[in-house]
Amino acid sequence: MDYFNSRTFAGTTVTDIRPKVEDALKSEGFGILTEINIQATMKKKLDKDYLPHLILGACNPVFADKVLSVDQHISLMLPCNVTIREVENGEVEVAIVNPLEAMKAINNPKVEAYAKEVSEKLNSALLSI
């Protein structure tokens, strides 16, 4: 199983698709807690050019509460990352972390059950874009 799932879109930009991504995540109970602009950060820190590339830290507070109730150290694995990036051919890829793979390191069946539910919600959001 891959550690992420993704879709690629033609005829759009990172800026134009972002609200659609956020709306799709919101419809599944996720909000955006963090944002990292890879393009801007790499230019500023390394003077290196990147295509547009965002990392959004998505959180579903209901599920965050559930997994944190099992193990407080799971906060190291949160939030769920969603990337929006322009690829070399000009298309835009939206990728989501696969929580089932990410949470394997925890080795706890209760956490795995929650990760499965979160994965289904993230995949539903990805498919609705």
Confidence of residue 57 (pLDDT cuts 50, 70, 90): very high
Structure confidence at residue 1 (pLDDT): 60
Structural domains counted in the chain: 1
Amino acid at 50: Y
The pTM assigned to this predicted structure is 0.95
E strand residue ranges, 1-129: 4-9, 31-37, 53-59, 80-86, 92-97
* CATH classification of the domain holding 39: 3.30.310.70
Q: Mean pLDDT, the chain, as a whole number?
A: 96
Distances, alpha carbon 92 to alpha carbons 20, 39, 129, in Å: 13, 14, 12
Q: Token match 């925890």: residue?
A: 106
Q: Which two tokens stand for residue 39?
A: 């393009």
Contact (Cβ atoms closer than 8 angstroms) between residue 124 and residue 19: no
Q: Which two tokens stand for residue 114?
A: 């929650």
* pLDDT, tens digit (0-9, with 9 covering 90-100), for 9-39: 999 999 999 999 999 999 999 999 999 999 9
- What percent of the chain clears pLDDT 70, i.e. is strictly above it? 99
Structure confidence at residue 105 (pLDDT): 87
HSE-up of 64 (CA within 13 Å, CB side)?
15
Range of the domain at 55: 4-128
Give the whole-angstrom CA distance, residue 78 versus residue 30: 12
